[in-house]
A and B are shown apart, each in its own frame.
Chain A
Amino acid sequence: MKTFEYRTATGLADGLEPGAVFLAGGTNLVDLMKLGVATPDVLVDVTRLPLDQVTELPGGGVRIGSAVRNSDLAADRRIRTGYPVLSQALLAGASGQLRNMATTGGNLLQRTRCRYFMDATMPCNKHLPGSGCPAREGDHRNLAVLGGSDACIATHPSDMAVALAALDAVVQIDGPAGSRSIPVTDLHRLPGDTPERDTALEHGELITAVDLPVLPVAARSAYRKARDRASYAFAVGAVAAALEVKDGLVHDVRLAFGAVAPKPWRALAAEQALRGQPATRESFLAAADAELAAAQPLRDNAYKVTLIRNLTAATLSALTGDVR
């Protein structure tokens, strides 16, 4: 593992010299450093910055500090009642020990689990631009059916991010050029020809918080994750959903898919297809199909299309029945 310097960030927007990166819980970054996939010269620890609180925003909604631990966020009363999909997504991820370390910012910015990416001795356009994408012909059972490119079909592995995408969350960013905010759905990029760039962040930009808007529909929301074992496994398909039904018709809906695309996949086409429709399994399936029409499955990941279709219908149906 490459020798590196370590320092604690003292204030926001310190900026970063070339070769420096932020360190939060370290549960992804340090693994990648040991594997030789990440080779930073300097680690700037952001966990001592005053970003570890969940607070209420003046106009309603909730601000989640980027250093809030995943386990604390999942347990937060405001999240559990106002945005249950987020709490459920967090608890479906990783293990208790990992959630105690992992932070909101780090979770959003964790890198793909594509097996070639995680091995520095293998070709991969994401860790070594231009070296090729062996996954396309090789192991892609858990890689993208939506949003991929010839250069890369990696999936974003986060559960939390899928819930945030469904919740219209907004990412607060501070950087050398000032602060800005972007919808969480614009944070991650699609790979195109430059899969080495995961996100819209510039070097040195720090995520300070994630804001959840006032969103009544979110009170009735759920996360459902399918995986290869009962616990401690990344999703092979996941759905985050929020639903409000009035008079048997879909009044409001939020839908996002996980483990199918290089980013948490907000299913806008499906939402569009659902609004005003009867809240029935048939409509839910039709909506999923509207979104999945763009899917480009490969040899071994076509099951994801069926899986997401089934999960969408099951999750929305369950929310219909939920009369809390």
Chain B
Amino acid sequence: MTNTLSRAVGSPLARLEGPAKVSGAARYAAEYPQDQMAYAWIVPSPVPRGRLDAVLTDPAEEDDVLVVLWHGNAPHLEKSDDPELAVLQSDRIAYRGQPVALVVARTLEGARRAAQVVQLDITAEDHDVELRADHPDLHTPDEVVPGVPADTATGDVDAALATAPATVDVTYSTPALHNNPMEPHATIARWDGEDLVLYDSNQHPSGIAKTLGTVFGLPAERVHVIAEHIGGGFGSKGSARPNAVLAAMGSWVTGRPVQLALPRQAMFSMVGHRAPTVQRIRIGASLDGELTAIDHESWTQTSRLFEFVESPGVVTRSMYPVPNLRTSHRVVPLDVPTPRWMRGPGEAPGMVALECALDELAIRLDLDPVELRARSANPGYLSCLRRGAERFGWSGRDNRPRQRREGDWWIGTGMAGATYPANAMPSTARVRALGHDGYEVAIGAADLGTGARTILAQIAADELGVPVDDVHIRIGDSTLPVASVAGGSSGSASWGWAVTGACRALRESGDDEATFDTTELVGKMPTDRHAYGAHFAEVRVDAVTGEVRVSRLFGMYDTGRILNPRTARSQFIGGMVMGIGMALHEESVLDPALGAWVNHDLAEYHIPAHADVEQIDAEWLDEPAADLNPMGAKGIGEIGIVGSPAAIVNAVWHATGVRIRDLPVRLDKLLPSL
């Protein structure tokens, strides 16, 4: 396809790097050949809490081994604001799986074997890894993700609940989840003199460069981070992880380029997780469904190293207008790895409790769940509810549960709202006119497979008035103009804004090169704006086995201007598939005695297989949010996982009459009640 469309934005352009990816030509972090490459393997702590007294090795046995690093011999690192990056700096063990030593060897096999047989002299201590809503160490955190207050209150919630004609009071829980992008975290580190070069799989090349600079006492410009292609991250690659620091350390000590690619098992420790939550939600309403009060309480966990607080209650602060509203978060530090961002942090688990509780309220009021929400919905959300219901074929639904049976299958439908903040962050882009060769657009952005590179080319093409083929995008490199993280569904808005500005500046100035920094403009952007949506699900539940299948899943979104319907659709339905996983499959299973998540591979940690995704589709209103940014775009990367799990849980209730409040909904939980 040649791209001679007069308007590239809005056309379903295929990903520019698609052919390179499917033919294997595209390089991921661990795939850059290096002279004299050495291979590193992490030795994880076998205990969740204690002290590492010594590391004993028998180098004679492992002649491939170049060095075994641990806190007794590792180079000193400077402090950064993430204590997880202070690797091999102390004898303290904060969680099972924490790196306590690093083997660097001439071969990958040699490194792996030596790491397996290394003898650790450890003094284990009593540990505590179990989240409970009555844990004595629970406290109110200073702030919760994304840097907002832990507690809020308006009106008189207790009085409103006490007098409300209809109430629900329910507790939902969500398990620990792990991001598990297809490409595990990986780094090749090389020192060119005093300069550090990192091929690293991450969502933020300039951020990683800055952090690694801090850790190694270098100015950021002496660290060169290359992240050309990334096999997903879902938030877990938003900041530097220990693999980057360890590879750089190994390379410093051995004088060779060092590759460190995490095995899948390590994806369940040092790279982050979505913390488990327990959420109690109380809603008060009038008999015709006007919401008078909501109290949303959340309990979650963090590590002993760092207070990162998953924030389910935050979404409830903006989803519905309620005169009496209280949200609170309590957190307990445990001997576990530090939780971090995972697609829709806060919103995804929060909307499980809120939208399932609303379903329970609708049942109590004998109201259609769409109508209940419609009473409190803003115009964009309302359009999604109405149009989504029409497209899904919602009308005429018998709201009573356990009414439809086909063969062994109970069949039901459910729905839930969706939302995500419209974010943008400061970024800088540069455009150069290359004469006959078109234009080079450079920005230190990262394309996780989302299509970011492609839509930036579309935006630039339209601003420059040229075909997309004339635009050469350079991203994924910390030496390019500084861009914000590929996170918070903010990439397109943030980077597109900078690219638009640079292209306009080039045209207006008539120069060969222009640079544009959005810091000032972003500072003036409204901060209280959201995307909205509605999810609709049809499920069937096998009366014999309790197995659940999602026959249909549909999302209708109000997400501003859609820049590329093809890549947008894959973001929406990708989020929805992850929503299926959150509702039905994903769970990191904790062994409290060992202090470990025991199902730490993809055979045992289930994400949806192709066969779990039957009919799935997404549509959107495509109404530009002109006052937000020049493209009129809102983020679309996360909204698909916000609310879709609740739609499925609600549909399971409608199919069977069984209400599961403890995710994931699995056959062993359903079977006793079928």
Contact = CB atoms under 8 A, between A and B. Distances in A.
Contacts of A229: 584-585, 606, 608-609, 611-612
Contact of A228 (B112, B593, B667): B667
A3 B113 contact: yes
B244 to A, nearest CB: 24
A295 to B, nearest CB: 15
B159 interface: no
Interface in B582-601: 584-585, 589, 591-594, 596, 598-601
Given A230-B609, A310-B545, A113 B604 contact: yes
21 contacts: A1-B113, A2-B113, A113-B604, A115-B589, A115-B604, A119-B598, A122-B594, A139-B589, A226-B547, A229-B606, A229-B608, A230-B611, A231-B609, A231-B610, A231-B612, A232-B609, A237-B545, A303-B546, A303-B671, A303-B672, A314-B544
B545 A307 contact: yes
B593 A121 contact: no
A138 interface: yes
A306 interface: yes
Nearest to B666: A228
A40 B116 CA distance: 15
A36 B549 CA distance: 36
Contact of A139 (B113, B549, B599): B599
Contacts of A311: 544-545
Interface in A292-320: 300, 303, 306-307, 310-311, 313-314
A61 interface: no
B17 interface: no
Interface residues of B, number: 39
B22 interface: no
B109 interface: yes
B593 A137 contact: yes
B153 to A, nearest CB: 39
Interface residues of A, number: 37
Interface in A106-154: 113, 115-116, 118-122, 134, 137-139, 141
Contact of A314 (B408, B594, B610, B666): B408
Contact of A141 (B592, B593, B596, B668): B668
Nearest to A227: B547
A296 to B, nearest CB: 17
Interface of A: 1-3, 34, 36, 113, 115-116, 118-122, 134, 137-139, 141, 226-234, 236-237, 300, 303, 306-307, 310-311, 313-314
Contacts of B612: 229-231
B46 interface: yes
Contacts of B609: 229-233
Interface string B608-638: 1111100000000000000000000000000
Interface string B65-90: 00000000000000000000000000
Given A230-B609, A231-B610, A307 B599 contact: no
A138 B594 contact: yes
A294 to B, nearest CB: 20
Which among A1, A118, A230, A237 has the greatest number of chain B C-beta atoms within 10 A?
A230
B667 A303 contact: yes
A49 to B, nearest CB: 27
Given A137-B593, A310-B544, A314-B544, A228 B598 contact: no
Which among A228, A229, A300, A314 has the greatest number of chain B C-beta atoms within 10 A?
A229
Contact of A113 (B549, B603, B671): B603
A87 to B, nearest CB: 18
Interface in B410-460: none
Nearest to B585: A229
Contacts of B265: 119
A186 B442 CA distance: 67
A233 B667 contact: no
B109 A1 contact: yes
Interface in B623-674: 666-668, 671-672
